């Protein structure tokens, strides 16, 4: 049975990368540190190597247990993993939020404008005149020197311990639904209580992401564990697919971030 059959075609290149990391650790007996991975990528690494692997361990860290984007260490089972091995740092700056309004997107755009790729960046927090950026240590000095403005705000980044991290207020509410299929437009309609037309409008306007990637086809088939994002409506997860009803509808368990 091929490992690829459990994943979408567009995920196959990342699966090849994970298998390469795994083989490298098995051959060299040295741990491998990844760049920052999104939750879906973390899930793929866990499913391929897994907690039950006899010779390897997979450990993730992104600042604390609440962060979404994390670096992963794949290591021999006997290796002792410490937080400093993940080589990440927290930068913080303050701005006057009475006169300037900043968003996550503003900070992200300013960061990427420096020519640094997204995989060197962890979570971003913006709240009450404070912004925080988690990043790879190797690009930290460059960012601190060059990231001096975000939108119209002049900032000065400084190092902070992870104990100072602003944790987001996250409240996932679980719900059970029945759907006629696992098409993206059908599931969005039920989770977000939209009409089918509204759901398709969001999709066609390219306002919908599945596992952090833009999807513009309502016929896209969802899988258990998929993370959904609808601009202006927030995030949700397809937690479980639980068989069919007597009327041949599909039972699903989902959660939505309030």
DSSP annotation string for 75-112: EETTPPP-GGGG-EEEEEEE--TTT----HHHHHHHHH
Residues 109 and 181 in one domain: no
Exposure of 124 in the CB half-sphere (CA atoms within 13 A)? 19
d(CA 119, CA 64): 18
pLDDT at residue 54 in the model: 86
CATH number (domain holding residue 244) = 3.10.290.10
Domain boundary among 164, 192, 223: 164
d(CA 58, CA 25): 11
pLDDT at residue 37 in the model: 97
Residues 179 and 243 in one domain: yes
Residues 181 and 144 in one domain: no
pLDDT at residue 6 in the model: 79
CATH number (domain holding residue 72) = 3.30.1370.160
Cα separations (Å) of 248 from 243, 244, 253? Answer: 9, 5, 16
Residues 181 and 128 in one domain: no
Domain boundary among 114, 134, 164: 164
Domain boundary among 27, 59, 85: 85
Residues 188 and 253 in one domain: yes
Total domains in the chain come to 3
Residues 92 and 133 in one domain: yes
For 138, other C-beta atoms within 10 Å of its C-beta total 11
Query: In tens digits, what is the pLDDT along the chain, a chain of 258 residues?
Result: 578 887 888 999 999 999 999 999 999 999 999 999 999 999 999 999 977 788 999 999 999 988 999 999 999 999 999 999 999 999 999 999 888 899 989 999 999 999 999 999 999 999 999 999 999 999 999 999 999 999 989 999 999 999 999 876 668 899 999 999 999 999 999 999 999 999 999 999 999 999 989 999 999 999 998 999 999 999 999 999 999 999 999 999 999 987
Residues 74 and 92 in one domain: no
Residues in Cβ contact with 115 at an 8 Å cutoff, skipping those fewer than 6 apart: none
Residues in Cβ contact with 153 at an 8 Å cutoff, skipping those fewer than 6 apart: 95, 96, 100, 102
pLDDT at residue 169 in the model: 63
pLDDT at residue 123 in the model: 95
CATH number (domain holding residue 96) = 3.30.70.330
Structural domain of 159: 88-164
Residues 76 and 105 in one domain: no
DSSP annotation string for 11-52: GHHHHHHHHHHHHHHHHH---EEEEEE-HHHHHHHHHHH-TT
pLDDT tens-digit map of 228-247: 999 999 999 999 999 999 99
DSSP annotation string for 147-179: --EETTEE---EEE-GGG-------EEEEEEEE
């Amino acid at each position: 049975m091929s490992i690829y059959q459990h994943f979408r075609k567009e995920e196959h290149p990342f699966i090849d990368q994970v298998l390469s990391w795994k083989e490298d650790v098995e051959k060299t007996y040295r741990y491998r540190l990844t760049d920052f991975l999104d939750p879906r990528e973390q899930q793929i690494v866990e499913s391929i190597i897994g907690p039950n692997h006899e010779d390897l361990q997979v450990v993730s860290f992104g600042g604390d247990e609440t962060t979404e984007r994390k670096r992963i260490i794949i290591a021999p089972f006997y290796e002792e993993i410490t937080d400093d091995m993940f080589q990440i740092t927290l930068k913080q700056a303050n701005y006057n939020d009475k006169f300037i309004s900043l968003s996550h997107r503003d900070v992200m755009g300013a960061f990427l404008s420096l020519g640094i790729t997204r995989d060197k960046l962890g979570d971003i927090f913006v709240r009450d005149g404070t912004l925080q950026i988690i990043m790879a240590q190797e690009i930290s000095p460059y960012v601190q020197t060059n990231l001096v403005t975000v939108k119209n705000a002049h900032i000065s980044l400084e190092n902070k311990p992870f104990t100072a991290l602003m944790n987001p207020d996250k409240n996932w509410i679980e719900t059970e639904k029945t759907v006629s299929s696992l098409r993206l437009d059908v599931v969005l309609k039920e989770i977000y209580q939209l009409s089918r037309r509204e759901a398709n409008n969001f999709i066609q306007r390219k306002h919908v992401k599945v596992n952090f990637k833009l999807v513009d086809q309502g016929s896209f088939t969802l899988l258990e564990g998929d993370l959904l994002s609808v601009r202006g409506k927030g995030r949700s997860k397809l937690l479980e697919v639980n068989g069919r009803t007597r009327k041949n509808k599909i039972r699903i368990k989902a959660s939505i971030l309030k």
